[in-house]
Each structure stands twice: as structure tokens, then as C-alpha cells.
Amino acid sequence: MVDCLMNNKTTYSSIIKQEAKRLGFDFCGISKAEFLEEEAPRLEKWLSENKHGKMEYMENHFDKRLNPTLLVDDAKSVVSLLYNYFPEQQQNPSSPKISKYAYGLDYHDVINDKLKEFLFTLKEKIGDINGRAFVDSAPVLDKAWAKKSGLGWIGKNSNLINKQQGSFFFIAELIIDLDLEYDGAIKDYCGTCTKCIDACPTSAIVEPYVVDGSKCISYFTIELKEAIPNDFKDKMDNWMFGCDVCQDVCPWNSFSEFHQEPKFNNTTGFLNFNTADWYQLNEEVFSTVFKGSAVKRTKYSGLKRNIEFIKPKL
């Protein structure tokens, strides 16, 4: 009976990893669905020190963020997945900058479609499975689960870093009520490097492994709905949506490989916009070039605010 159960775990885990590869996920790891004891005090301290800024939603569902069994009844396993978004295309270097993850279609839509197919296929091949799929859209500590499943370590910039290909990945999860073979965590390979800390334009990485979200350029340009504090007027490094600085300088991203997802390619041409094009941006052009894009999250008014804020004084 024990051997049969072990064989099932091995077989099911193999099916899951094969399906992940078929669907285009670059890495797949599996961990036991259990309370995240190490993360609990860190999250509590981070919130108590207001490092989440105006992101009040981070205060919600504290228990669910730490315990996957509160998200899926009888959850047994967390399947963590990485999907590469490192682009071969490059933005006009002199124009206001947009984070690489937003060059193409919104990753939520692209990856959610894959996750739905993933769950459907697993139910066909394994049987009745109760589970939910997540991609940066629910109270799930995705980086913690990816670390726990051996897909990488959490770097000093608080990003998950994969030893083979760096950190330009979207992270997704399936939380399911199926016992599987679990992968173990790997060691931290940041060593004595502090490139991300030294390069952060707003000094948001306040100490190794701790990012003050309320000082982060991504927070200012995406999450913050009110005026950007004037204290950061000359510290935005020309970013108008997101920021890639701490990833761009990370030595592990020298191993990044170009993604193979056509939906992440920029097809609307905004990567070729020059500075004048951005300064003259109107709502009609915004709606056209960012149709289906994650940039729509900041809305036209938000992006115009960002562009005006980083615009040099004449």
C-alpha cells in the first residue's frame, strides 16, 4: 500500500512537470502546502513598519497569505511555476522607460489561460482534483513558495533568482489537494554582492533582502494613486512605468535567455516612441498602444502624471 502511494506521488509529480513544460513554463517545482512559519514574522514586521505604503490591500487576508489551506480546502501541494518574459526587443534608450514585463500583452491574461488548461489536463490525466490557479492576483506569497519548491532563492532585492536564468520571470501557482513528491529549497547564491542595493535610484532596498515598497519606483508609478512625493523628483531614473534597475544590474541576469512567448512581444510599436512622442501622448493613442497591456493598470491619467513628473525642467 505504501509503495503504491509512493508510486502515485512519483507518477503524478512527473505528469505535472511534463505538462508544465508542454505549456511553456520554464521551471516547475513542488512544495508541501503548509503554514509559512519563516515568512509570518517577516510579513508582520514589514507591514507594521509601513513598508507597503498606500497598498492597503497588503494588510488584508494576512492568514491566507501564509496558509494555503485557507485558499483551497484540504490543500496538500503547491505547484510553483516560472514563465520567462526577458525580451529580445529593446526600448528606445533615450525615451521614458517601461518595465520589460509590460512590453506585450498583460501577463495575467496570458498565464491564466495556461493555468486553466493546466488544471483541466491534470483532471483528465489524474482524476478529480480540487485546486485553484494563481498568478499575482490573490493573497499568495508567490516568491516564498517558489523558493520553497527549489526554483531559486530570494535575492537581496527581494526578487526570486533562478540559478540557470536569473530573475526575469512571472511566478504562478497551482494549489491542489493532491499529495506529491516535494522539491527542496536551494541555497542563497547572492554572496557578498550588493549591486542591486548600490544601484537602486531611490534607496528602496533599505537592507539586504528588505525592500521599502513605499520608496520603490514601481510603487510610485503603478500602485500610488496620489501625487508622487517631490522628494523623489530627481531620483526616478526616467522610469514612467515600473522599474528594472535592481534586476538589470544583477549578475545572475547575465544568464537570462530571450522568452519564446509571442504574446509578450511588443506589436503596437511603443518601444520605438521617442521622448517627444511620450510627452505628446493623448488618451486615444494610450488606448491603442496599450490595448490588452498591463500598463492600462495605471490608466492614462496615471501614466501622464508619471511622464510629467520625470520630465526635465526647461
Q: Model confidence at 59, in pLDDT bands (50, 70, 90)?
A: confident
**Which pTM does this prediction carry?**
0.94
The residue type found at 143 is K
Per-residue pLDDT averaged across 69-83, rounded? 96
- Mean per-residue pLDDT of the chain: 94
Full residue range of the structural domain in which residue 173 is found: 1-180+188-314
Q: In 3-state terms, what secondary structure has residue 68? A: helix
CA distances from 283 to 91, 95, 164, 226 (A): 21, 19, 41, 19
pLDDT in tens, 105-141: 999 999 999 999 999 999 999 998 999 999 987 789 9
Distance of CA 193 to the CA centre of its chain: 22
Mean pLDDT across 216-226: 96
Rounded Cα distance between 190 and 251, Å, is: 9
Helices (H), the chain: 2-22, 39-48, 62-66, 107-125, 142-148, 195-199, 217-218, 245-248, 275-279, 283-289, 299-310
- Judged against a pLDDT cut of 70, whether residue 4 lies above it is answered with no
What is the percent of the chain where pLDDT is above 90?
A: 88
pLDDT above 60 for 161: yes
pLDDT exceeds 90 at position 21: yes
Is 98's pLDDT higher than 90? yes
- Residue 6 confidence (pLDDT) above 70: no
Instruction: Provide the percentage of residues in the chain whose pLDDT is more than 70.
Output: 98
> Given a cut of 70, is residue 76 above it in pLDDT?
yes
Q: Are strands 97-98 and 239-241 parallel, antiparallel or unpaired?
A: parallel
**How many domains are contained in the chain?**
1
- Nearest alpha-carbon partner for 289 in 302, 278, 279: 278
Distance CA(164)–CA(257), nearest Å, equals 9
Confidence of residue 221 (pLDDT cuts 50, 70, 90): very high
Instruction: List the catalytic residues.
Output: 136
Per residue in 180-212, pLDDT (tens digit) is: 999 999 999 999 999 999 999 999 999 999 999
Q: What is the pLDDT of residue 53?
A: 84
Judged by DSSP in three states, 151 sits in coil
Q: Which residues contact 86 (CB under 8 A, 6 or more apart)?
A: 100, 165, 166, 168, 253, 256, 257, 258, 259
